[in-house]
Amino acid sequence: MTQTVYIIGSGQDGGLPQFGSRMAPDMTARVDPLAVRLGPSICIVDQPVAGAPGSCFLVDVSPDIKEQEDRLLKLPAYAARATQNPFDGVLLTHAHMGHYAGLVHFGREAANCSNLPVWCTEKMAGFLSANAPWDQLVSLGNIELRAVGTRGRVSLQPWPGLSIRPIAVPHRGEYTDTVGISINETLLYVPDIDNWDAWPAAREEVGKHKISLLDATFYSRDELPGRDLSEISHPFITDTLKKFGDLTKDRRIILTHFNHSNPVCDPGSVQARTVLEAGFELAQEMTAIRL
């Protein structure tokens, strides 16, 4: 099987444009489709074999899932699917709005999914089962929760050749814990983390993956005048370049999960150039990564 990972949303939870904001980048994105960045999510697509449609596995369900489905429908492997469930399985990293709120579309008022397997941590499964409106997705059988630990690897049956290793990472956890994931030990996806120093395994994990997609919510503290740094639950790109710069020589490090204020969202910015010159990549909408 050949798997391709599509970055179907490279924005922070609120995306770009962000609802309620009249900052210049948001006003630009309202008139320029190329400047739009949807909520954070990736989709793993198994290419069709012998005429059978490929399987599609979603990581996080952003509030922009409807627009993301529109984009996926342009891919033959996704468009060829003829099943009730829009995806074969879903994994959720944590319960911040950009990563799971799109689940509202999985219920009986919309897609009316049937026993869609949803992998998440035990705490997240408990949260979804105990709180409305998510509990109804469980009680009506739209989704089937499959709690995973953060030790060891989970084979996502029935997809031979696809395995996910959830990795616990430190991140603001009002409701649930947070995981990053390793896909087939080839691609590391960590869309949200408080800071790299709070995760002792950060360099080791990035070092052993061929491709890493990392939290790049803010470029620097200049975006957050007057904000207490201890309230910021993300590393700055300026720190990320220092932390992993030497590792870009023989692996791809792609930055993603950009806040609407992040200057790298503008490819012509000095900051975007600085990132590229340091050997990193900037996620674009629908970037395709062959595993």
- Judged by CB under 5 A, the chain residues 222 through 251 that form the site for Zn ion are none
Give least dist CB 99 to Zn ion, A.
Answer: 6
**CB neighbours (10 Å) of residue 42?**
25
- Judged by CB under 5 A, the chain residues 89 through 108 that form the site for Zn ion are 96, 98
Nearer to Zn ion, 146 or 172 (CB): 172
Across the strands, what pairs with 253? 212
Nearer to Zn ion, 108 or 227 (CB): 227
Could you tell me which stretch among 9-17, 113-121, 129-137, 276-284 binds Zn ion (CB under 5 A)?
9-17
> How many residues interact with Zn ion (rule CB under 5 A)?
4
Direct distance between the N- and C-terminal alpha carbons of the chain, in angstroms, rounded to an integer: 10
Q: Cα separation of 191 and 179, whole Å?
A: 9
Give least dist CB 122 to Zn ion, A.
Answer: 18
* Integer CA distances (angstroms), 223 to 142, 154, 213, 226, 267, in order: 41, 38, 22, 10, 17
Give least dist CB 41 to Zn ion, A.
Answer: 10
Nearer to Zn ion, 54 or 191 (CB): 191
Of these, 3, 11, 13, 81, which contacts Zn ion (CB under 5 A)?
A: 13
Task: Transcribe 49-118 into DSSP letters.
Answer: BTTBPPPEEEE---TTHHHHHHHHTTSHHHHT--SSSSSSEEE---SSHHHHGGGGGGSTTTT---SEEE
Per-residue contact string for residues 22-61; x = within reach of Zn ion by CB under 5 A: ----------------------------------------
Give least dist CB 168 to Zn ion, A.
Answer: 14
Beta-sheet strand order (sheet of 252-256): 154-155, 163-168, 179-183, 187-190, 211-215, 252-256, 281-282
Nearer to Zn ion, 46 or 177 (CB): 177
Nearer to Zn ion, 16 or 75 (CB): 16
Beta-sheet strand order (sheet of 288-290): 143-148, 116-121, 89-91, 56-59, 41-46, 3-9, 288-290
Give least dist CB 112 to Zn ion, A.
Answer: 27
- Judged by CB under 5 A, the chain residues 160 through 219 that form the site for Zn ion are 192
List residues near Zn ion by CB under 5 A.
Answer: 13, 96, 98, 192
